[in-house]
Amino acid sequence: MFRDLCCIFEPLHAARPGLFPEGATATWRPLLKLRNSLRRTAAIIIKEYKHIWLDPGFLFLTILSPAVLLTLLAYIFSFDVDRAHLALNDQDQSPQSLEYIHALTADGDVRLVATFQNYDEVVELFQMGRADAALVIPPGFGRHLSAHEQASVNLIVDGSDAGTAFQVINSIEQRTQAYVADLGEPGILPFDVRIRVWFNANLRSQFSMVPGLMALVLILPAMAVALGIAREKESGTFETLVTTPVLGHELLMGKLVVYLSLGVIGTLLALAVAVYWFRVPFRGKLGLYMLLTADYMLAVMGFCLFIANYVPSQRTVTSIVLLTLFIPSFFLSGLILPIDKSSFLSEALAFSLPSTHYIVISRGVALKGVTLVELWPEALALAGMAFIALAASILSFSKKLR
């Protein structure tokens, strides 16, 4: 609408200057500038979409890389033992021992793979990797239970892999406690501790790691905007582009819109992998999750754009982003270990990373179903980071053009 009015006002005023009051065209001139600015930004957006579509590497980086990297990292950083392999020596052969064995193996997470008669066979099973643990049920096990006496079993665990051994011990202990509780014999245990875990009932490490890993994998599509500028610098097309009437903020905003939109698509694909492949529960609202994801990506993209203003090569951009965002997020953001609050410096470094705030958001929305009421501090922190980074990028880029 305003475009048609502007097209009418300008020629009429040029032909007959006295036709309109002096301030009339001045009123419409900002609209003309806005229209031209939007046209130039739209031209940049179309150009970027075409370049990415014709470049399979950038297309993979912006859309598919989050889902692929999430799959790899989720398996690498999975600390769950999906199935414990158990060898058995039942020396009691009583109904109680058979019930106990059934209680251990009923859900399939503990699998009975072999029987043995002596400890030499246990050593052989461990050396061959066929069993993670060996269970010995001594004679009199059923008699002790029937007499309301304390019964014992002997569990031998392969400790060559400490992580697996810890998981197997916990698994056997939990099932043993559940079996004793089902007996209803208060004399067997001095007291009963009933534990309930919310949001992750089985304490699956993947349920915690996968939403947190989203913060790392989304760095790749955000980094692509800086790689795109560095690629244009290497090919010499960037210098040609800045000589056009396109202003600095229009150029950067056009690139930002393109890579942000493709990053959102990549987020949806990665989220689908998390929910449908790794079976991570998603209890929150998808719209809120995507909105806060865009908030996070703007913060990371702003930082990457600022780097691209001063770095001439794609290799250097990649190195800087990996050293300043990707690697620190593994150790400082609370992804694997809790945030170190023992010193002000370590805490400040942790909260200066956008990933620290997004991990809280991702886990909170996915696992707990929290809303913006609980997440506004993290959302506000990311918005502030995005504003500062984008403002610094635009100002530094415009200054270089001048």
Q: What is the pLDDT of residue 195?
A: 52
Domain boundaries, the chain: 41-76+205-401, 84-183
Q: What is the pLDDT of residue 300?
A: 96
CB within 8 Å of 64: residues ≥ 6 apart: 266, 269
Q: What is the pLDDT of residue 8?
A: 37
Q: In terms of C-beta distances under 8 Å and separation of at least 24 residues, what long-range contacts does 393-397 make, across chains too?
A: 393/252, 393/302, 393/305, 393/306, 393/309, 394/248, 394/249, 394/252, 396/306, 396/309, 396/310, 397/248, 397/249, 397/251, 397/252, 397/305, 397/309
The residue among 213, 232, 387 whose CA lies nearest residue 317 is 232
Q: What is the pLDDT of residue 213?
A: 94
pTM for the predicted model, two decimal places: 0.75
Cβ burial 335-369 (10 Å sphere, 16+ → b, else e): beeebeeeeeeeeebbbebbbbbbbbbbbbbbbee
* 199 backbone φψ class: left, alpha, beta (φ>0; ψ -120 to 50): left
Q: What is the pLDDT of residue 14?
A: 45
Q: What is the pLDDT of residue 303?
A: 93
Q: What is the pLDDT of residue 26?
A: 60
Cα–Cα distance for residue pair 238/228, rounded to 1 Å: 10
Cα–Cα distance for residue pair 223/65, rounded to 1 Å: 12
The residue among 348, 353, 316, 319 whose CA lies nearest residue 333 is 353
Q: What superfamily would CATH give domain 84-183? A: abc type-2 transporter like domain (3.40.1710.10)
Which stretches in the chain have pLDDT values below 50? 1-16, 19-20, 24, 187-194, 399, 402
Q: What is the pLDDT of residue 23?
A: 52
CB within 8 Å of 247: residues ≥ 6 apart: 37, 40, 398
The answer to whether the CB of 185 falls within 8 A of the CB of 148 is: yes
Q: What is the pLDDT of residue 268?
A: 96
Cα–Cα distance for residue pair 63/266, rounded to 1 Å: 4
Q: What is the DSSP letter of 91?
A: S
As given in the structure block, the two tokens for residue 342 are: 């023992």
